[in-house]
Amino acid sequence: MNAQNIWNHRIAGKKPTQSTWETFDIDELSGLNDKNHAMSNVIVGQFDLRTLIDYKNSSGESFSNSVENILYHIINHSTYHRGQLMTELKQNGATPLSTDYIFYHRK
């Protein structure tokens, strides 16, 4: 969620409201997720996806990528971390949850 917040703010030309490794209480996560989702929806509605965004990464290096590629990165990045979490659960004897996007739209 921190990465999505950071990327959304880069696209919008604003300073991120969260840092890379910031932690939150579990009861805050749903609200943070809702804010990220809402901001991403605003971005999709207001930006031409081909627009190039100039930004600096967390190391201070300058880059330029399209809104489309940044949004794709946000989705891909979260998929990577969901896989990490499910692997960790499985390695510790827990049954992993389904993290497939379509699963949530079948309900």
> Can you read off the two tokens belonging to residue 22?
């910031």
Sign of the torsion angle spanned by Cα atoms 95, 98, 104, 107: negative
State which CATH number among 2.40.110.10, 3.10.20.740, 1.20.120.450, 1.10.8.420 fits the domain covering 2-105.
1.20.120.450
pLDDT at 98: 84
pTM score, two decimals? 0.84
Sign of the torsion angle spanned by Cα atoms 88, 93, 97, 100: positive
- Chain length of the chain: 107
Mean of pLDDT values over 87-95: 94
- Model confidence over 9-58: pLDDT tens digits? 999 999 999 999 999 999 999 999 999 999 999 999 999 999 999 999 98
Domain boundaries, the chain: 2-105
